[in-house]
Structure formats: C-alpha cells, structure tokens
A and B are shown apart, each in its own frame.
Chain A
C-alpha cells in the first residue's frame, strides 16, 4: 500500500529538527525508515509530517570518549558492525547488530532508530540494558541523559517525549577482560528473535567474577536477568555451575504468548539460551 499523505522536512541540524517536532505534535522522526516506512505502508500510523534526520551529520558516527563509547543515533547498522571502535569496546553491540534483519535493512536502519522504536523483540535494546547504556535526548529544553533501565517503558514506548530526539548513546567501556556473546533464537531468515540473550562475562582465573545478562522478547520491554547475574558471581567457570545459574533466567518475566511461541516455551528458551550464551562468552 501507499502511505497516507504527510509533509516532509529534512533539516540539517538537531536544533532545527527539534524545532520542527515542537511545532507540530503529530510530526514524527524519520531515521532509516526500516520500521516506520512499513508501518506507514500498512497505514498503522498517520503522522502529519516526517522530520527526516538524514542530513544531520552530527548524529552519525562513533567516537571514543574516554570511559565510554558514543554511538550517534543515525549510525547505520552496517556501519556499527564494521566500526573498529565498536568491535574493540562494545563487541556485544557489534555481535547483536550483525543478527538484525538482513544486509539491505542494515544498510538503512540505524542504531538510534532501533532503540527509539523500542520493540521488545528488537535485538539492541537488551544489549543497551545489559551494558548500562545512557541514551542522550535533546528537546526544546536542552539535553538530558536517560539510563537504559528507565528508557524502555513499555511495548514501543520510551521515555522520549514527542518533541525530543535521541541524539546519541553512551556505552560505558567494560573495565578488565570481558568476553561477550549474543545468542538469538529464531526459525527463519531475517526473523526477529523469538528470544535473545545478550551476555558479557568477566573471568578471573577459573571463576566468573561478574556477568551481565539482558533478555530480548521476554516482556513488553527488554529485561535484565538480575537473578542470573547474582547467581553467577564468583562461581567456577564450568558447565554445571553456569547451567544452574541459568535456571533463574525466566524469573519474574512475562513474555508474550503469540505465533512465535507460547509464554512458557519462551521461558524455557530463556533458560536454555542463557546457559548457552554465558557458556560461550565464558569460553566453556
């Protein structure tokens, strides 16, 4: 289908984009369009105006900011995957982004767009949560920083107000020797995760000193598997101990019950995939 009529603006700066959003409450941001354009084609949304960020150069690219890596909201998935700084300091982001959709979609879709879209089946939100990312927003009142744990509020709902842009995402570098893995379970090509598990593990000698675990598609927002993280602290880096800790993965989750799988099946998957993800990251 063809989208309904809308006006189109492609400003050059964040300030002009924010002003355009503030002037029209039914305006919507257009980033890569890989979620928004299908929604418009299916006539599930009727914005009066699209504010396209494609010309806003300050929103693109990755920079090293000391203890954090900063990824501009308009950095495309394909550029995130290929970026040497991301590979070095945020390898979990690169690993998860490589599983998003297919090459053509990754050539258009953006890091910021995927997070702002806040689909709990999206692969990047759980990663942002597991890495304690800070999402930086800019609106008419200036900039503010939102912790990932506060950013994702409900299904497709974030802490951004309609006149705010997501401008960049700060990802704290992991201190020490961490290894990471993103374990995604789906059945067919270019599919969204039925369940996904994002993990980072820091080993000290023969044991796991610290672990981070984020879950994709286990609720209306991404979920941090805090019970698994607690159970992994200080345990030997071996299969039995990891399997035992992974048994906590579904605690407190309310996963969707849909064509992709029943809720109890997803809870089973969360335990199995968490075991695999942590074991792979820990090199077990």
Chain B
C-alpha cells in the first residue's frame, strides 16, 4: 500500500491505496466522486478525462500513486457553486449530449482546449476533442457548444437562452 495525498475539486484527501489503483478508480471508489465515468479499457474513449495540475489527462491511464501531491479537477468541481461553467451551459444550450456518458470527459477536454486556445476554429475544436469519443451525437452539437462557450468566455456575451442555474435535481 502507498500513501497518497491529493486535492480533488478543492478538498484535500489522504488515503492508502494499492499501487495498481487507477486514478479513475480512486476518484470513483475511493473518494466517491462518481461524476467521472469509465468507458473503455484502451485509453481511447476519454470519458474519464480530468484536469491534473492544470492539464487534461485520461484518469484511467494514470495511477493514483502518480497523482500523489497533485491538484485534480473533475467535472464535479467545474461549477462555481450553483453557477455552471460556461462550457457546461453551452453543452446544455446546444444539446451537446444525448446519453451523456461521454459528457464529463468531453466538457473537461473542451475546458482544457479553451484555456490554451481561446479562439479556436471549428477544425481546431475537432482536433482539440480528438481524444474523446461520443457514440450518440455525431459531434455536431458538441462542436457548436464548444465554439459558443469560447465566444462567451471571450466576453462576447452569453448565447440567448443559456441557463445560468442548473435545474433542480441536476448536481452542479
């Protein structure tokens, strides 16, 4: 067993883990933060994407012991209290999801992309979320959502009809 300490969505956790524990399992099973789903065994789907020390990573492809001392943000730490992150709002507004399984990872990948490239072209958005697979939407509305969030984040105004507060029953 190894001792790991990490800050996840603003809360510091210190635990004993087996070295083979994947970060994604530690988040879900160890810390109960189940907002980050697991979609594959091959590091391809990206549904498990979280931010680790400011960089997007596939949390199924990081050992919990490698994240010792790290700052992790999951989809559950993105909202500012009841206020959704502009990318979350845009996914809702533009119907950037259907079953929702890929959405936590897709949103985290999009947030990472926009941090590095605040004004992406459509092509750059498609490449920026290349590591995240969606089996439902055909990507069209996801790309629209990311482009819309980009313009909102640049301060070019919210898009008409965007919700600023999640509806009841939806965890922020």
Contact = CB atoms under 8 A, between A and B. Distances in A.
B165 interface: no
**Size band of the B side of the interface?**
20 to 34
A103 B130 CA distance: 8
Contacts of B25: 2
B141 interface: no
A38 B132 CA distance: 16
A190 interface: yes
**Size band of the A side of the interface?**
20 to 34
B56 interface: yes
Contacts of A6: 19-20
Dominant SS at the B interface?
A: mixed
Nearest to B50: A104
Contacts of B109: 103-104
Nearest to A82: B116
A8 B131 contact: no
A189 B60 CA distance: 19
B103 interface: no
A8 B61 contact: no
B63 interface: yes
24 contacts: A2-B20, A3-B20, A3-B22, A7-B19, A8-B63, A10-B65, A30-B66, A33-B63, A37-B63, A38-B43, A38-B61, A41-B41, A54-B66, A102-B131, A103-B130, A103-B131, A104-B58, A104-B109, A104-B131, A107-B56, A108-B62, A190-B44, A190-B130, A190-B131
Interface of B: 2, 18-22, 25, 41-44, 46, 49, 52, 55-58, 60-63, 65-66, 109, 112-113, 128, 130-133
Please provide the 4 A-B residue pairs with the shortest distance between their CB atoms, ordered closest to farther.
A102-B131, A8-B19, A107-B55, A189-B130
Interface of A: 1-8, 10, 30, 33-34, 37-38, 40-42, 50, 52, 54, 78, 101-105, 107-108, 189-190
